[in-house]
Amino acid sequence: MDVDNTLHIECDAVKKHLLTGNFGLEKESLRLTQEGFMSHTLHPFPNNNHIVRDFCENQTEINTSVATSAQNAIDLLTAHTREIQKTLVQLPEPELLWPFSNPAYIRNEADIPVAQFSGGYASKTDYREYLSNRYGRYKMVLSGIHINYSFSDALLQADFGVSGYDIPVLALIVRNATGTVMSNVTRSGQASCNSFKILPCSHSTNAIPSLTQLRSSCTSNEITGYLLRCVSNVSSFAIARCSNSGRESHERS
């Protein structure tokens, strides 16, 4: 295995499989009132497994089904987004879906409603309250879009001579994907309202050079890379990965 390159895209046998595999998208967005304030209504999609909540009650999260092409994943995301927008405009007090990662105007920390779960899911609210106490609520309203992609067996066979997911191959991919180029090309939007009380800002809107670092933390890649170096098979990786999921998902500094 060539440790200096992740994928040999110059090879025709590899190149033709680059866009094969499975795709999935996750997208978080805040719900706002028509006046531009944070919504405090309950999540309007209680029975939809593809439209759930992240940290906030007003922070919708779309989880698409597994798609067999990138375009199919985009189409699924678009359909769910339209469903959300159609529902929001039909509410007794119509709402809007905020399109940016950095939040809109926040009056104070109490203006960020922790997601409310009941019954057998009440522990989800308890966990969010723990995060609120430990990190504060401001960090948690940062919203993002996540791309989930799994290589096809055909690509892994063509490039690495393996079938299925192989831990050394995964470790190589993660190691070579955690540099500054990956972060720089997948993040943007340094402008933020000065009500977003994480970093000092003297104007109503300001460009803060280090703001995107809060959403593009290297913590996730560092943990995943470490686990891949320390385990020998997919089952043990999955167990170790789950035990670290809390830290990975929410240490965004």
Q: How far apart are CA 164 and CA 141, in angstroms?
A: 36
Evaluate if residue 63 carries a pLDDT over 80. Answer: yes
Residue 130 in domain: yes
Residue 32 belongs to domain spanning: 23-150
DSSP code string of 201-240:
-SSSEEE-TTGGGGTS-SHHHHHHHHHHHH-SSHHHHHHH
Residue 44 in domain: yes
- Pick the more confident residue, 219 or 194: 194
Q: What pLDDT sits at residue 174?
A: 58
The total number of structural domains that make up the chain: 1
Tens of pLDDT, residues 73-90: 999 999 999 999 999 999
pTM (global) more than 0.85: no
Residue 18 in domain: no
Contact in structure between 11 and 129 (CB atoms under 8 Å): no
Tens of pLDDT, residues 124-183: 999 999 999 988 898 889 888 888 888 888 888 887 777 666 556 665 665 555 554 555
Residue 95 in domain: yes
Mean pLDDT of all residues in 203-217: 50
Q: How far apart are CA 14 and CA 7, in angstroms?
A: 8
Evaluate if residue 45 carries a pLDDT over 90. Answer: yes
Give the count of alpha carbons within 13 A of 168, CB side only: 7
Tell me how far CA of residue 36 lies from CA of 57, 104, 160, in angstroms: 16, 7, 51
